[in-house]
Amino acid sequence: MIRQLQTLIRRELWEHKALWIAPVVTAALLWVATFWALASMVASPEGVSAFNEHAVPELAGEGASQMAHGMVRAGIALLYLVTLVVLFFYVLDSLYGERKDRSILFWRSLPVSDTLTVISKVVVALLVAPLIVIAIALILELLDLVTTAPLMALGTDLGYWDFLQPGAVIMALLESLRDMWLLGLWYLPFFGWLFLVSAWARKAAFLWALLPPMGVALAEYLLFRSIHFLSLIGEQFALPFKNMAENQFGFRFDTDRGVSEIQTSTAELTGLSGLAEPAFWVGLALGIGMLAVAVAIRRYRGETT
């Protein structure tokens, strides 16, 4: 079973190259933008003087470690946001596409169960995709050490060793991996719905994924003049990012006063505290239920369109 699962996972990565190409391109653009901005600053005497006066003192002692930790976490967050967009289309096409191109006939001829096939796709979306992001982030960090760090060491009062913060980098990578896995579980009801639509829709899977929830929200508003369903979906989706803004980057969201800045905290993006939220367990149960329905539809559906 383990070997079958490994083979199915490799198949998903081979057939859906955007899962790693998109974060690679994003990381490359991020490196180019960072290198260009720092090179422009180093080429400017005024920029170097301002950096030495204001930034260098802040990086003394634990400042460099905190900077490395924060920059790695921010970079991974950006890469994972791009990956989430890719995952939306990957999951939506995962069971629909194999019927459309009739590759399902080949895979059903092999001794691989429908349950294991769907599990492999869930594992790719929830577990493998974050690992890809972490690997790309690590390569990006090493590239920065080879290119950006010498540039800053030669152009400012910083030393090359100020950029070598392996402990902070490793901690940031591990924390980010944990948070992405927790975020995947938090978003399981969304993934479950997309898998369900992908298994059921005969055509226009994208529209079937969006129109029913929009229809329910519109019907609720027209009948009861309320938006509870829409608010529930919005809160389920936005809560991890709200926690990140409040805890990681130091902003508080107040519905009456808007966004107000507070002191920076070292709390995590979602953290283990998210497991105590009732919405987490309710969403987890709903997601597992929708995945089970998707497996049943794939198993008993005779047509390939």
Encoded tokens for 196: 């369900």
Question: Mean pLDDT throughout 193-218?
Answer: 89
Q: Compute the residue count for the chain.
A: 305
Summary mean pLDDT of the chain: 80
Question: Mean pLDDT throughout 31-47?
Answer: 83
Gap between the Cα atoms of 117 and 142, Å rounded: 36
- If one compares 263 and 175, the residue with the highest pLDDT of the two is 175
Encoded tokens for 208: 């079937």
Question: pLDDT tens-digit profile of 86-96?
Answer: 999 999 988 88
**What percent of the chain is modeled with pLDDT above 70?**
80
Question: Mean pLDDT throughout 15-31?
Answer: 94
Gap between the Cα atoms of 89 and 86, Å rounded: 6
At residue 67, what is the residue type?
M
Q: What is the pLDDT of residue 43?
A: 80
Q: Indicate the pairing of strand 251-254 with strand 258-261.
A: antiparallel
Question: pLDDT tens-digit profile of 255-303?
Answer: 444 443 333 333 344 455 556 677 788 889 999 999 999 999 888 765 5
Return left, alpha or beta for 102; rule: phi > 0 is left, psi -120 to 50 is alpha, else beta. left
Query: What are the backbone dihedrals phi and psi of residue 261, each rounded to the nearest 5 degrees, phi first?
Result: -80, 140
Name the least confident of 189-203, 208-222, 249-263: 249-263
Question: pLDDT tens-digit profile of 52-62?
Answer: 776 666 666 66
CB atoms within 10 A of CB 89: 14
At residue 46, what is the residue type?
E
Name the least confident of 52-66, 75-89, 198-212, 241-255: 241-255
Q: What is the DSSP string of 46-109?
A: HHHHHIIIIIHHHTTTTHHHHHHHHHHHHHHHHHHHHHHHHHHHHHHHHTHHHHHSSHHHHHHT
Model pTM?
0.82
Closest CA to 122 of 198, 57, 211: 198
**What percent of the chain is modeled with pLDDT above 90?**
28
Gap between the Cα atoms of 23 and 132, Å rounded: 8
Q: What is the pLDDT of residue 244?
A: 59
